[in-house]
Amino acid sequence: MPTPRSYLTPTSAEERAQRRAEFGQTIRTHRRRAGLTQEQVALAAGLDRPFLVQVEGGKRSMLVERLPDLAQALGVTVADLFPGRPLGECSTC
């Protein structure tokens, strides 16, 4: 179960927001590199497009169980979805 926001310090809340934003940017970068639309990725991953838009925008996070579906839709590995991994080193490219 997610931690209620009332239990987060302002610093930890900001860190979480930053991680969501970085994750979303990584997803967007992979999607654009693959030449795919949000609709195409959402359909291939079994997600709703509005949800994917929110993930890419750093507004929502994803369940761990859905990461393999998203990675497969983008043609990358789950590890490739995480910020900090050099984007030029796609393990499936």
In a domain, 91, yes or no: no
In a domain, 85, yes or no: no
Q: For residue 68, which amino acid is it?
A: P
- CATH of residue 64's domain is 1.10.260.40
pLDDT digits (tens, 9 = 90+) for 24-51: 999 999 999 999 999 999 999 999 999 9
Please give the pLDDT value at position 22: 93
Name the residue among 69, 65, 63, 25 with its Cα closest to residue 46.
69
In a domain, 1, yes or no: no
Instruction: Provide the domain limits for residue 68.
Output: 11-78
Residue 1 in this model has a pLDDT that exceeds 70: no
Please give the pLDDT value at position 93: 47
Place of tokens 């209620």: 4
By percentage, how much of the chain surpasses pLDDT 70? 84
Report the predicted TM-score, pTM, of the whole model to 2 decimal places. 0.79
Name the residue among 34, 35, 74, 76 with its Cα closest to residue 52.
74
Place of tokens 């979303």: 24
Residues sharing a CB contact under 8 Å with residue 26, sequence separation 6 or more, in sequence order:
81, 82, 83, 87
In a domain, 58, yes or no: yes
Please give the pLDDT value at position 8: 79
Place of tokens 């940017």: 25
Q: Count of domains in the chain?
A: 1
